[in-house]
Amino acid sequence: MNSRVQVSYQPIIDIEFSGLHLIEASAGTGKTYTLSSLMVRIFLEKYLPRQVIATTFTRAAAAELKSRIRARLVETYRYLDAKRSFTEQELLTQAEQEPDLLLQHILKHFATRIAYACERLKLVIDQLDELFVGTLDSFSQKLLREFAFESGKIERAQITDDAKTYSRQLIHDVLREWIQSQPQTVIDALYLAGELKSVDSFVKLVEDSLNFSSAHFKLPEKPTIQFEQLAQLKQLATEIDISLLEAYYLLDGEHYKHVSGTVFRNGAFNKLFSECLPQLLQVLKQSDIILVFDWSLAAQRELIFKFLGQLADQKVFKKCPAEISDGFYQHPCIQQIQQLFGVLKNYAEQFDQLHIFLKAYLCVEVKKRLPQVLQNKGETTFSQQIRTLSEALKGEQGQRFAVFVQARYPLILVDEFQDTNQDQDDMLASIWRHPERYQKGCMIMVGDRKQAIYGFRGGDMLTFLNAYKDIQAKHGREYKLIHNHRSVADLVDVVDALFQRQIDFGEEVQYDPIRAGTRPHPVLIEQNNHNPHPLRWLMLKDKETEAQQVAWKIRDLLNQSHAGQLYFQKDTQTQTLNEDDIAVLSRNHDGLDKVQFELERLGIRVNRPSKRSVFDCSIAQDVGALLTAILHPYDEAKVKRALISRLFAMDLKQLLQLEQTAEGLSQFMTGFDTIRELWSTQGFLVAWQQCLIQFDIWQNLVAAQSKDNERVVVNLRHLTEILSQHSEKYSGAQNLYHWYLKQLSSPLDRDWELERKLSSEAGVQLMTIHQSKGLEFKIVFLLGADKPFRENNKTLNFSTQDVVQPDSSQTLTQRVVAIADKTYLNEIELKQHEERALAEQNRLWYVALTRASHRVYAVLQDLDGKSVSGLAFWKNRAEPFQHRCCTDEMVLEQIPQAIHLTKQTSVIEIQAKRFPEQRFYSRGKTSFSYLAQHLKHKAGTDLLASQSNDAVLAEDELDLINTAEASSAQPIDWIKSNFPRGTLAGNFLHEIFEHIDFQCSDDWVIEIRRRFKNDYSSLWQDLLSKYNESFPEQEDAENLLYQSVADWLKDILRTPLYQGFRLNQLQQDQYLSEFPFYLALSDRVLAMTRIQQLFAEYGLHMPELLEARSARYLNGSIDLVYFDGQRYHIADYKSNYLGDDLADYRSDSIAQSMSLASYWLQAGLYLVALHRYLQVKMQDYQIEQHLGGATYLYLRGMNGEAEQGYYYWQPSIEFILRLDAILGYFAEDKIA
């Protein structure tokens, strides 16, 4: 680290919001508190929420950060609001006494503008929803959508949750292509040697390489294999006679006693010549010599190849006469063996090199092809999206894009900066760290390089170090948080002393001394001692007893707590230690599995984060069986399989008894068939809920007492939710069913399919160190704290190389990724990888040791103290580590007997509170359609027999169908009787009236044709087919039909309404079509009962209306508002079908329809809305003079004659004013 860089330790007050800033926040130093405080300053001093971006590593961390920001803003606002009346001097005096750095800073800088600060904070709190707080992945998605045009990435892609499927498919395709391009002999050899494996064996390697897509991938040279020499080996093998060497290799041979027993142990020399060599020579003598590379002969080949090296080094014999050893080394048979198997070894090495090349080739090709495959599917991944954004920011056009982004978001705060990968940092640098623009905005990077532990999924310390150098070169400021508020002071001191024994963690990570913070902690009291020895070394006598000792120690701690000897105390309050206060951390899951087993054996509750897919549980298999039975209801075998699942709580014996009954399986078959029909007609969720209810599945799941009842119920709800969501994507029962079966066969670890946490989950928390990052526990056990580090399942090797940047001519260290194989990597590359791995392990143990607030038990197994891995990297330095706050913990020799607390139960009298007469309802909106929803239910009951099956009702229209078979005395026109019914037809007629000129019919047919063709083609096809059926011999049917509709419109507009007025008298400036409104209501529950009583007083009876308790606004759209020269009226178009006779559309029939459909309420509400509108718009408005009535136009019955097809209603002035008063005014309530 550059010692010349000035470091600040108070970023809350020292930071200025321009340029580059790096805050290094060590573990437990109050990072979130600092960030929320900085956000208050940012919003108060410079930017509004919509101009700021805050990113962090996980969605959970983002949610917490945003809530903390809001809380800090509200806290600051309330604090300042209480000081509005203070003078400047009083505020400055208060600032000197204020311990909170943020409030101290604000009081000093806003002493003369305290009212402004309050109003500014109030505005910010109101606008806080505009602040973006999320992950870098979600931010990149936001940028590509928000700046699609500027970025040139207009095509929107969906984030796929199944990226591994694409990778796997690409591996399959690339592997198949490569195999087809190779000579058959090469493929045979690779296959026989076991190096040409299935696709699954390459998936992890390729996925790992994709995490480092920006790194340079070292592609080895492809070996050229010539098989001509291999063919000559057959002849050479036939010439070798091993029996000539019997004097050397037979156990009773003359010279066998001189063979080195150190090199050839347990008769290995005899076994080599009597078993291995004959087997290989026998294969070489066969016609297909390539069989010698079969994987079953791998051990024999390795022994021979090793023997060739011993021959070269002349290490076969111990001290013996030279003539004996020389006779063996120079024996013609030995010369032939060296020649034969030397060639064979060369071929084996070439095949190994080819295998390495194949793995590297797969990584490179999948990386190259994956973006195109995703683009073709209209999908992307988060990592690919970041890469796309980084590429869009390159070049001249990319810099223009970056300027747009920085102008829109001048300040960005990046949390967990040490975990950003190269693509993410490239994106951030292009926008906020550009050499020409970094001073125009502000970039605050927050992180701790000591906690960079996610190298396995793309995190790279080299990325952080390069960014750090970039920040230094651009004169960025550096800040450090050095007060640990998480842990008690003694634990902070001892951990700090331990880490200071070796401050160099590796990879340029240096440890900075940490001090205890001021946050008050409860005191852990043990045997009347306060926080005794917070760091304890538990040295095992036998490393195999690690899990047992940890479980025993946890029981011992709980026993002490139950006995009152171990507890937490804060002021005068005490709290016992329970299982939830304890955590066990491990580098891997194997150690946690063993501890979990031991704890559960002792009856101690365990809480472990689930990494299991919900598709991997037994209930998922049962759901699959039930879906199979539903889709094959008459397949007896499939039905039986579903019935013996836990969903039906039926065992084999009960199933056999059921089959003996007369009804047998028929009731279930019928039920499944009904549900299948429901699925096909109404969708999955309706059918599934019916199934769960019909067969009492929820009750069956918990019918028997079992500890996994809650898990089963939660998993079934989870599966129901997943199936419901995916039913929208996979239309059709078979598609959804086959998708579900695919998930059962190959469960993955996608976030949405992992088992959910149970409400009852509590106990000792078991997790890996990676999972524990960012968390805090009171007592922590660290497994394998000095266990030697071994890198398991190593697939890639990480090294570095220096490259010169073409644009700046600066030297930059670049990451190099290669296939992990020693045969083609040099020593420097291998050493760099090892140093990187060890440095990350040191950081991992730093994270582990800083999780506890009160005590740490480090479990050790190296009795000799020679280990340098884990915590031993610091503990086992030159001299033993000693500190007043650490001690050696004694190993327990026997299992502690459990102490159980006796719970005292007392009967508590419970009295219900009086039900409140007034309740709070959130403000919402309603409409006439909602209030009159009772109609659909009433119609479904009263008119069920007379409804046509295919009729689709409009939102507020009800068709009344007379089922009596009688001829009409005065039938309505064909077009009016046969025009389709329902929402679609009603919408069509409404749109026609909205767009035609009432007085000029010249363009009506054109408008009708255009509407039918463009927007209502299905409606037109239905109408035309009916017309052709009725008039099969009619020519030019389409034009005649268009004209029929136009003639119908003429009938409507020329029908005399009140006082002989016709709609075709209206000029275009005298009416408004589809007049929208929002009607404010009182800030109380809408009094629907009073409204209904008001209508009844005036002889207007309607069915019971729905309540709208939360309604504070009523919205709607009036079909027609017009001025007839004297008053303002409304009209509403109704396409309701009341019958085929003109008599069905006279005033009395329409009035009956209006009562049944509650159109009186609609008309009253619309007239009140018009009344309020005119009050606002007309200065001399008088309700008696200007407000007219409502005309309901039943379009099918209008034929141009008076009193036909409409109902005109003009309520009294008193009625309108009373209804207006009942509805109320929100503003008046607020003033009152």
CA separation for the pair 1142, 1196 (Å, rounded): 9
Q: Is residue 664 annotated as involved in ligand binding?
A: no
CA separation for the pair 551, 1209 (Å, rounded): 84
φ/ψ of 870, rounded to 5, equals 65, -140
**Helix, strand, coil % over all residues of the chain, rounded to 5:** 50, 15, 35
Q: Is residue 165 annotated as involved in ligand binding?
A: no
Per the CB < 8 A criterion, the answer to whether 175 and 165 are in contact is no
Structure tokens, 583: 């955590």
Q: Is residue 29 annotated as involved in ligand binding?
A: yes
Spatial CB neighbours of 684, under 8 Å, sequence gap ≥ 6 = 723, 724, 727, 733, 736
Cα-to-chain-centroid distance, residue 1168: 48
Per the CB < 8 A criterion, the answer to whether 284 and 234 are in contact is yes
Amino acid found at 959: D
Q: Is residue 63 annotated as involved in ligand binding?
A: no
- Tell me the CA distances in angstroms from 888 to 36, 533, 546, 1220, one per residue in order: 41, 9, 16, 82
Q: Which value, to the nearest 10 degrees, does the dihedral of the CA atoms of residues 1046, 1048, 1051, 1054 take?
A: -40
CA separation for the pair 626, 643 (Å, rounded): 8
DSSP structure class, residue 919: -
Per the CB < 8 A criterion, the answer to whether 465 and 447 are in contact is no
Amino acid found at 1226: F
CB atoms within 10 A of CB 957: 20
**Residues forming beta bridges with residue 54, ordered by sequence position:** 133, 413
CA separation for the pair 384, 1003 (Å, rounded): 54
- Write down the catalytic residue from 419, 423, 959, 1132: 1132
φ/ψ of 99, rounded to 5, equals -75, -25
Burial code (b: 16+ CB inside 10 Å, e: under 16) for 187-224 equals: ebbbbbbebbeebeebbebbbbbbbbbbbebbebeeee
Structure tokens, 684: 């999955």
CA separation for the pair 639, 628 (Å, rounded): 8
Selection from 1006, 1008, 998 nearest residue 1055 by Cα: 998
Q: Is residue 1003 annotated as involved in ligand binding?
A: no
Per the CB < 8 A criterion, the answer to whether 638 and 593 are in contact is no
Query: 644: number of CA atoms within 13 Å, CB side?
Result: 14
Helix (H) or strand (E) holding 703: none
**Residues forming beta bridges with residue 159, ordered by sequence position:** 380
CA separation for the pair 900, 921 (Å, rounded): 48
The sign of the torsion formed by the CA atoms of 352, 358, 359, 361 equals positive
Helix (H) or strand (E) holding 1091: helix 1088-1097
Structure tokens, 189: 């050899």
Q: Is residue 31 annotated as involved in ligand binding?
A: yes
Outline where 378-488 has alpha helix (H). Answer: 382-392, 395-408, 422-432, 461-473
CA separation for the pair 256, 244 (Å, rounded): 14
Structure tokens, 87: 């003078």
- Tell me the CA distances in angstroms from 717 to 616, 714, 756, one per residue in order: 15, 5, 10
Q: Is residue 1044 annotated as involved in ligand binding?
A: no
User: What's the 3-state SS for 307-326?
Assistant: HHHHHHHCCCECCCCHHHHH
CA separation for the pair 536, 780 (Å, rounded): 10
950 is catalytic: no
Outline where 440-488 has alpha helix (H). Answer: 461-473
CA separation for the pair 683, 703 (Å, rounded): 29
Per the CB < 8 A criterion, the answer to whether 820 and 794 are in contact is yes
Outline where 996-1065 has alpha helix (H). Answer: 1004-1015, 1017-1030, 1037-1054
Q: Is residue 26 annotated as involved in ligand binding?
A: yes
Q: Is residue 398 annotated as involved in ligand binding?
A: no
Residues with active-site annotation: 1132
Annotated binding site for Mg(2+): 990, 1119, 1132
Q: Which residues are annotated as a binding site?
A: 25-32, 990, 1119, 1132
Give binding residues for ATP as ranges: 25-32
